[in-house]
Structure 1
Amino acid sequence: MLLSIKTKLKLSLIQETIMSKHAGIARFTYNWGLATWQQLYKDGLKPDKYVLKKFFNNHVKPEFTWIKEKGICQKITQYAFDHLGDAFSRFFAHIGGYPNFKKKGHHDSFTIDASGKPIPVGGKSIKLPTIGWVKTYEGLPHTTCKSITISRTADNWFIAFAYEQTHEPTVKQHDVVVGVDLGVKELATLSTGVVFPNPKHYKTHLEKLRRLSRNFARKTKGSNNRQSCKIQLAKHHAKVANLRNNTIHQITTFLCKNHAKIVVEDLNISGMLSNHKLAQVIADCGFHEFKRQLEYKAKKFGCEIIIASRWFPSSKTCSNCGYIQDMPLKERIYNCGSCGHSIDRDLNAAINLSRLAKA
């Protein structure tokens, strides 16, 4: 099974400068390709990444000597065109939006390889093509990879690569089907009665976020103080995102390791975010990330994921008699109007989801 790993790099000031140069060249190549792509469309032509890549290498690249500077990996321009082509493919398939121009300091990243040769990794240091040896904060598995992606978050650089991993199915504590109801008050409620509370990391750190945002807005544009505040604000956003991802990783790992069959509903997240009263707390839950992690961890730990239809009335159906009634969001206890059964709203929905798989 092909899985990826991402870890933080321990770089010197010289190495950070080299990384910034690589990211700048990748950004320049991507933006040039996007601008040329748009111009060709206006002229009635139909471009693709291969035509742009060939023209760039033969006519544009020789004019910019700084791209061929010593220590710069020349593979980053090829991957920039590949990323541009993938972005347009997602756009034409109605999976993503129209590609935008990249800005300096926003999602800086680049991809390199060793001209088709496998790159050996392992331990707390790795030798990157043309860049040289770099150190990591944690040990890497001893393996090989085809390409490596290096990205920057706030003022920290991270390395990511995919490699083949072998996994055997884990011994399940629960062979029965488990239903998982995702919510705002409780992040996940299982049909077995286990409840995972919602830590609400964004709301917890909101006051500090407001303070840092005010400080950033008050600084003079272009000043060093503004740049310093920008990094502090980016670090805070990264901290909240890491806390959220850690919580979701813990829950999804527990589910996939200990349950043979998991049923989760297909939520209309974009529709839920249109409710401005709940948009902030819904976005803080990370429902899409929760589902994404379940899908790949199911293959990793050997369990089955069943996605229930978003139209399945899990919250409106009585888990005791099957009677369906309206359930406003403010009502947290399900009181059946037919049999009089009383149960927690989220637990009732989780039980109905587990029975859906059996049906």
Structure 2
Amino acid sequence: MFKAYKYRLYPTDEQKCQLIRSMGSARWFYNYALNLTSETYKETGKGLSRNDIIKLLPGLKKKHEWLTEPPSQSLQQVALDLSSAFLNFFEKRAKYPTFKKKHNKQSIRFPQSIALQGDYLKLPKLGKVYCKVSRLPEGKIKSVTVSLVPSGEFYASCLYDDGQEKPTANSDGKAVGIDCGLSHFAITSDGAKHGNPRYYRKYEDKLARKQKQLSRKQKGSNNRNKSRIKVAKVHSKIIRCREDFLHKLSRKLVDENQVIVVENLAVKNLVKNQKLAKSISDAGWGQFCTMLKYKTEWEGKLYIEVDRFFPSSKTCHFCLNQVESLPLNIRQWTCSQCNTQHDRDINAAINIKDEGLRLLAGGHLAAASGVRVRPSKGTAFTRR
């Protein structure tokens, strides 16, 4: 299996300058190849392949000597990234590739002549760069992607091949359904509620003060650049706090359960609600589900997504009666048929779990997981 580990880099001033120049060269070549591919498609109806883009490098290096500063393999990786971007576009997994900007996050990939030696990361044309290694994985290192974030910090994402086959998913064990919310971040089918830390709200006032100070600085001045870094550091603090919370919660849920069932949420559509957009973006539901997915795959467990239109909140998990309407302000409700009192979120989590198990096994998993699986037909499965 391939696993990536992220480390903080502390390059010298000379190494910083060389990294920034190499990233600029890779960014320029990406934008040049993207523009040439688009123009070629408009003229001939066909784009450029990865090999066609790589063949452009010798002529460009003679014309622009600064293209020889980064390793040749890193520029070849640019062609691979661009071809992958077009493939994702044609298969409708992403939008049309866009040009990379100078002031956004910068990165460059080193696929060869790399090694992690103690507290130093060996990179081609850079030598040994001091690296804060938190954990040393087992396996062979395949590539290193060095990135520069707006706050001025360098990070290295090291991709390792541990030499082991991907474990076969096994459904024997405890199953849990997870309903994501705003009052509580995650509600599980066993009744546990995990609070929403709201890190953006926590640092919102501090961020507003830094942004106000930035707006008063003259554009292009050194003071404006210093103020920009202060704003970027606040954003970085929010991101790191959120990732720490999501990693710990997802690891806890994966360790305690064998089958994890969640809703397939369309976060891009949910943030169109102007009243809840900031809170939904602050929660990080999409990133949380991504963490759950790859961690369950690593452990040989099951990750299931239930259709987003499944009426989990409006369905009684006991008798499968479905109410016509259930506004968001109603957190407790009573079923009109069986008189069962429901907590809105816990009931939704139970329905998500039952629906996931029904989709997975059609009923044969009930004995193994110790839970009741709903029947395959009924009013509860009506999509609205």
Please say whether Structure 1 and Structure 2 have the same fold, judged by a TM-score greater than 0.5: yes
Q: Which residue identity does 2:125 align to in structure 1?
A: T
Counterpart contact for 1:122–1:143, Cα < 8 Å = no
> Match for 1:147: what amino acid?
S
| Partner residue, 1:354 | 353
Rounded Cα–Cα distance in structure 1 between residues aligned with 2:270 and 2:27: 34
Residue in 2 aligned with 1:128? 123
> Does residue 197 of the first structure (1) align with residue 195 of the second (2)?
yes
SS of residue matched to 1:175: coil
Q: Does 2:185 correspond to 1:155?
A: no
- Contact kept, 8 Å, 2:177 with 2:353, in 1: the verdict is yes
1-side partners of 2:277 and 2:86: how far apart?
Answer: 29
Residue 217 in 1 paired to residue 215 in 2?
yes
Instruction: Say whether the 8 Å CA contact 1:151–1:157 is kept in structure 2.
Output: yes
How far off its partner does 1:337 sit? 2.4
- Aligned partners of 1:37 and 1:167: how far apart in 2? 38
Quote the residue 1:74 is aligned against.
72
Deviations 1:52-76 (A, max 9, x none): 424422322211112224xx32222
Partner of 2:23: 23
User: For the residues of structure 1 that align with 2:210 and 2:251, how far apart are their CA atoms?
Assistant: 34
Q: Could you tell me which amino acid in structure 1 is paired with residue 72 of structure 2? A: Q
Residues 3-33 of structure 1, C-alpha deviation per residue, up to 9 Å, x if partnerless? 1111110122111111101111111111111
Q: Report the CA distance between 1:95 and its aligned residue.
A: 1.2
Q: Assess if the C-alpha contact under 8 Å between 1:73 and 1:131 holds in 2.
A: no
After TM superposition, the runs of 4+ consecutive aligned structure 1 residues lying more than 4 A away are 166-169
Q: CA deviation at 1:143?
A: 4.1
Secondary structure, aligned partner of 1:311? coil
- What corresponds to 1:144 in structure 2? 140
* Aligned-partner Cα distance in 1 for 2:200–2:340: 36
**Could you tell me which amino acid in structure 1 is paired with residue 124 of structure 2?**
P
Contact 1:220–1:226 (8 Å) recurs in 2: yes
Total equivalences in the alignment: 351
Normalising to structure 2: TM-score of the pair?
0.86
- Residues 246-291 of structure 1 show CA distances to partners (whole Å, capped at 9, x for unaligned) of 1111111111111011111111222211111111111111111111
Aligned-residue CA RMSD (Å): 2.0
Of Structure 1 and Structure 2, which has the larger fraction of its residues in strand?
Answer: 1
Distance verdict in 2 for CA 1:96–1:130, change over 3 Å: same
Name the structure 1 match of 2:10: 10
How far off is 1:224 after superposition? 0.5
User: TM-score w.r.t. structure 1 length?
Assistant: 0.92
Sequence identity percentage: 32
Judge conservation of contact 1:332–1:345 (CA < 8 Å) in 2.
yes
Query: Unaligned 5+ residue runs, structure 1?
Result: none
Aligned-pair CA distance for 1:121: 2.0
Name the structure 2 match of 1:232: 230
Q: Matches of residues 1-359 of structure 1 in structure 2 within 5 Å? A: 1-69=1-69, 72-114=70-112, 119-139=114-134, 140-141=136-137, 143-153=139-149, 154-165=151-162, 166=164, 175-325=173-323, 326-356=325-355, 357=357, 358-359=373-374
Distance 2:108 2:166 in 1: 33
Q: What is the SS of the residue equivalent to 1:355? A: helix
1 CA distance for matches of 2:298 and 2:254? 8
**Counterparts of 2:215 and 2:91, CA distance in 1:** 39
- Would the alpha carbon gap of residues 314 and 20 (structure 1) be closer, same or farther in structure 2, given more than 3 Å must change? same
The verdict on how the C-alpha distance between 1:274 and 1:256 changes in structure 2, with shifts beyond 3 A counting, is: same
